[in-house]
Every structure is written in structure tokens, then in C-alpha cells.
Structure 1
Amino acid sequence: MTKPVLLILSVGELGTNVLESAARSGLFGRIVIAGRDGAKARARANSTIIGAGLEFDYPIIEGLELDVNGPAFVPRIKSIAPDIIFTTASMMPWWQLEKSSAPRLPFGGYLSLHLSVMNTFRDRLAEADLDAIWIGASYPDVVNPILHRTGFGPLCGIGNVQEPIPKIVAGLSRRLSLSPDQIRVKLVAQHAFEYAVLSDEVTADLPPYLLHVEAAGRDVTEQARQVLLEPFPFTYDLFFNRITASAAIEAFRAILSPKPAAVHLPGVNGLIGGYPVVVDGGCARLDLHSDWTEAQAIDTNCRSLCHDGIAAIDPDGTVHFTESTQKAFAALLGRSVARLEIGGAAQQANDILNAL
């Protein structure tokens, strides 16, 4: 049976880490990494060929020039015929924002830097009309819902809700002297939750979340909450992209599984935040604990948005910023910004970049 084709659209740090991990996963027969800088894409592909080959993995790996704004984008992406498209582009990634000395915005204030690029990708992918699964990894807890509310959007994102779960499993495994595979976690949480619990200063005032954990068939949720509150020294630097790449591999495995696969994913089916889901046949459905309703889970993640500086997202995709974010915009741009509409994302992103 022919293995599927993965297309990674972005030659940045996360795209490269996903390339390296995917090449060693055994999941794909062909992997294409593509971006505006074709020479960089080819160099990253060649590096991966050597590294993966040293570990006895030899999928076909190619680096291509592919400009989402260029006339060749649609015919070239059709010729690649990917089974999975992974996009992770931003006008300025989070790790570069950390270097700026300009006044800081809450994380949600930088939304336009991700949304403007992902909106362009969405429009060009619509032109290509491919039968491929799209994974959007650029701030998926918020970007993916906006894309779905203004057209079509990715099946899901990666990271965020996935990444605190190993802390829970590893901590409980040690506490209870159980194998990790005996521990089952269901977590509903939005992007901000991860940063609150993967920290050396965890407080009880966490962003809203839902949690149920069983170990060897018994409820250990309260012990899991204690684990979440334990200090967990963690550095958010370029190495963090390696962790997010592992989250991507977990998502790829679930999507490509020949039988229904349980996994946690953010921005799934256009929902705000992250959820436990079952992926089956390229589709995903919520897999909530029996005590939770879908409305309750969605509301939990919506109430968490303020921890990213976002007050609400309207049904038409308009984003309203919190008062603190509006004040931060005033400090950065010299004027307050109350909201973001998808049509204004490119201009708002350019205003931010100019200020930075």
C-alpha cells in the first residue's frame, strides 16, 4: 500500500522541526516542504534526507519554491497531490516577538500576524480544491474558528491542549507507581492554559478548563489537578518547536490510523480552544467525558479567551479585544484597537510590524 504524501507549507522553525520528525515517523512515503525561499527549502530537505537516513528512514523528501501569492501556487500544489497539508506560517513568529523591545501586547493582540497569512492560504487552497486534510498550526485555537466562520477552515491545529497532558501522565505515573498507558486523560483547555501549567510558578488561578483522569479504571482527577499545580520549570525558546513537532506527529498518527483514534486537538472543526476527540476517516468528533456537555466544553474555552487578551469572537469572525489589550495597542501603536475583522488583518499586521 502506498504511503501518503505530506506537504509542509512553511520553511520556518516549526515547519522544519515537523519535517525532521515526520521523516523519521514512518508515516509518509513522500514529504514536500515548500516556501517562498526555494533554496532554503531544498537545503532543509537535504539536511533531513541525511539525518533521517542515518536513522534508517528514507521517505522521498523534496524542497520546493512555492509562493502562496504567485500564479504557480495552484497548479503546483495540485501536482504535488498531498494527502495532508500542514501550514504554520506567520508574519512574525512568537520567538521573534520575544526579541522586540517595543511595548508588549497580550498574545491575542498579535492575532493578525497569523490570521493575515492563514487567510491568504485559505483562499488559495480553495482555488486548488484539493481532496486533502488541512492542518492549520498558526494559533489554531483562535485562527481556525475565524477561518471557519468566514469560509472554510482546517480540520484542526496541533499543540496547545496536547502539551500539558504528558505532565499529567508522567506525574501521576510516578505518584501512583503505574505504567503511563494505564492513565487516561480528557482535557478541555484553550491556548492560555498551557502557559499557565508549564511554568515554574504555577498558581491555583488557572484559565478555565475541564479535566477528567482515570488510572487503572479509577477516578484520579483530583490527584491530577495537584500534579497540574506542581512547579514545572519550562523554557519557551526555539527548542519548544521540537515539542510542538511531536504534537504534530501525534495528530498525523491519529488522522492516518486505519481505525478510530482518540487524541486531543486544538481548533478542531472550527471550535475555539482544544478538546478530546476521536478521529476516524479524516473526520473528527468530540469525545467528551460523559459528565460534560458540548455547550459546557465550548463555553469553557470561550471564557478562557480573556487570558490571551481576547474578549469574544462573533459568529462572523470579528474579534473583540479586552480593555487591557486595547490599552496595550495604544502603547504600541499610539491608538487603541478594539477589534479585528478578517478583511483588516493584513493592515493591522503591517501596523504592528512597523511599530515593532
Structure 2
Amino acid sequence: MQGRVKIMIIGHGVLGGAVLDLLSQSGRPYDLYVGARNVQQASLRANVARYTALNLGHHPTIEVVPMDLMNIEATAERLATLHPKIIFNATTLHSWWTIRQLPPDAYHQIDRARGGVWTPMHLVLVRRLMKAVREAGLESVVVNASYSDVTNAALAAEGLAPAIGIGNVANAVPGIRLAAAHLLGCDLKAVDVRFFAQHYVSYRMPNTGTTDGAPYHLTIYREGQRTQPEELDHDEIFANVAGQFRRAGDLTGQSVTAASATAVVRALADRVERVVHAPGPLGLVGGYPVRITPAGISIDLPEGLALDEAVEINKGCQKFDGIEAIENDGTVRFTAESAEVMRKLLGYDCDAVALEECEGRAEELARKYDDYRRRFE
């Protein structure tokens, strides 16, 4: 790699901060920028990254800059001035662990709606970011952490899709590799996988040992050779992922997501050829294995699986996450079951959200969720 690479991280919370740490400790020639509304808080977090990296013998270049994604014009001006090669969006109006803070019974009630119903909260900031990138006239590669299985595909309707997402499908792959190597009795390095699945499978399977009927596609390789169905049973693999190779979840497990994000960002920054797993690549629904090269990104399809077949698998899988469909104009339509849960629990009546409506819907949902939360205080 020639020269230094400018990487902008927007958001310095649990995920953004962890990615900042990992990039700071990489020893690579990156100029790291942290965009934040609260510069003072972000500076404190950036110093944690500096201290940690220095203890490990690295000397990162980190600069904190003011950035409010709600202000598209100011964001565009800032981005045009800095001209980052890569932008990592680690912002959302609704972190996935928010509902986990509810009492168990309240959490289980609302979790029946699944993840898709929170889409308006995930769309607002990344949509404004992408408008700012367009206004700035940049060709920066945007990596999106905000429910990119769905938001990237919805934003594609406006020509605003980030290049790729992170986490979700990628978080399930290490467990599958560990379980497959164990069952095959071989070295972990010998095992590789190609996994196609929407967000629902990526969190449900590692917890329950099953996809609950949600569709997916999994190809496993040993020493580069495709294994045969009689060699490995998927149910047995998944049972081992949720059993012997079960990992800590909640915020403790967020380091796995941060590592997946860092793998994507580093492959793009270092201009190397690497296969990663990621949601929302190229504005597609769901998660895929993605080949990143200096020339760009593409879906890494195993022999016998066409791209349209992979997309249909993810479209079927997203119904289990409460998404009936993402329409051609970017409207996200929820399943009747998920919409009904939100109507009964929150009084939130929303069967679908159009892109132009996402901010109003997000405000309404935030308000009604807050009312719901307060019932249990």
C-alpha cells in the first residue's frame, strides 16, 4: 500500500470506539478521524485509543472533528475538506441492546416483533450521511453498521446505498468454522465457509442451535475442497455453535462485531484481496460472503449458487426478522405479525415506512417506546 489512508469513524460509542481501538493497534499507516457531535466526549474516547495503542508499541494518528449527521450541509463541507478514503458509520438512533435493558418479561414481549420494526430508527442518520457524501461529491467507500441487511437495500432505491455493511452474518461465521473443524477433526485453518443469511439467522442460530426454519445457504470447504453433505450435518454444526462453541453475548460479545468491521475496513484500506462476510453489500438484502479487491467488491458465490438465488434466500430469511419486503422505491414493509406486536404493546401503528417518512416514524417510535419503557420503572 502506498501512502497514508484517511479513515473517518462516525460515532464513538461501544462499536465505534472498539473499531477505533483495533485500527489504532493495527500498525498500519492510517490517519484516523472521529466525527462526533460531542467533541469533548469523543476526545476522551480517542485518548483511550491512543493510550492503549501506545502501551502496545503503536503510534496512531487520531483527530476528533465536530460532526452532526442531522446537518447535511455542514457534514458535506467537513467531508469535502477531509476527503476520507473510507467512512465507517457507527451511528443509529436505536442500538440493538436498548430493549435488552427492559425487565425480562417486557423484553420478551417486545422482542416478538423482531428486529425489522426498528428500521426507521436505523435509517435516519445513515440516510443523511449518504446525502452528505453525495453533496460533497466524494467517492469515499461508506461502510455501514446500522442494520445494513435492510437499510443498505432500502437506500439503494435513492442511489444512496453504502458500499457494504458489517457484523450480523459475519458474527456467525467464526462459530460455524470452529464447529465444522471440530466435527471434521481437522485444523481450524483448513476450514473455510461461504454463508448466506439475513440478520435473523445470525443471532438466532448461535443462541438456539437452529434457524427456526429461516432459509440460508452454507457451503463448507476443507483444504479448499467442498465437503459433501454426508460429511457434515448442518443441524449438528449449529448445535455445536450454540453448545460447545457458544460465546458471550450482549455488550461483551460486541468485540466480535467490531472485529468484523475492522476486517472490512482494513481490506478496503490496505487494498488487498480478501473474502469477508458482510450484510448489505452492493445494496443487496441480507448477508453474503464478499470478495474485496483493489478493483472493488463482489459477491463470492460457491459453485452451483447463482446471485439471484442467494438474494431470494435472504428475502425469505428477512421475513423471520419482521420484514415482509423492501419495495422498489425503498419502502420497507413489515410482516403483519410484527406490526401487530408493536400496535398492541406500544400503540405504534405502522405497516410500512417509506424513505421520506423515516424521520417522522423514527420520532414517533422513539416516543412510544419511551412510554412503554416507563411502565416498568
TM range (shorter): over 0.9
Task: Tell me how far apart the structure 2 counterparts of residues 246 and 287 of structure 1 sit (CA, whole Å).
Answer: 20
Superposed CA RMSD in Å reads 1.8
Distance 1:2 1:224, change over 3 A: farther
Partner of 2:221: 214
* Secondary structure in 1 matching 2:64: strand
Q: How does 1:26-105 map to 2 (within 5 A)?
A: 26-70=27-71, 71-100=73-102, 104=110, 105=113
CA contact (8 A) 1:196 1:207 kept: no
Q: CA deviation at 1:194?
A: 0.8
Distance 1:204 1:83, change over 3 A: closer
Task: Tell me how far apart the structure 2 counterparts of residues 48 and 250 of structure 1 sit (CA, whole Å).
Answer: 18
Q: How does 1:1-356 map to 2 (within 5 A)?
A: 1-70=2-71, 71-100=73-102, 104=110, 105-199=113-207, 201-203=208-210, 205-220=212-227, 222=229, 223=232, 225=234, 226-230=236-240, 231-232=242-243, 233-281=246-294, 283-356=296-369
* Secondary structure in 2 matching 1:312: strand
Q: CA deviation at 1:224?
A: 5.8
Give TM-score, length-normalised by structure 2. 0.89
Task: Tell me how far apart the structure 2 counterparts of residues 16 and 280 of structure 1 sit (CA, whole Å).
Answer: 26
Q: CA deviation at 1:178?
A: 2.1
Task: Tell me how far apart the structure 1 counterparts of residues 271 and 101 of structure 2 sit (CA, whole Å).
Answer: 44
Structure 2 spans left out of the alignment, 5+ residues: 370-377
Q: CA deviation at 1:25?
A: 1.8
Task: Tell me how far apart the structure 2 counterparts of residues 289 and 3 of structure 1 sit (CA, whole Å).
Answer: 35
CA contact (8 A) 1:134 1:156 kept: yes
Task: Spell out structure 1 runs of 4+ moving beyond 4 A.
Answer: none
Q: Percent of aligned pairs with the same residue?
A: 28
Distance 1:204 1:11, change over 3 A: closer
Partner of 2:375: none
CA contact (8 A) 1:22 1:28 kept: no
Q: CA deviation at 1:241?
A: 2.2
Task: Tell me how far apart the structure 2 counterparts of residues 160 and 282 of structure 1 sit (CA, whole Å).
Answer: 25
Q: Deviations over 1:311-352 (max 9, x none)?
A: 111111111111111111212342532111011111111111
Give TM-score, length-normalised by structure 1. 0.94
CA contact (8 A) 1:158 1:266 kept: yes
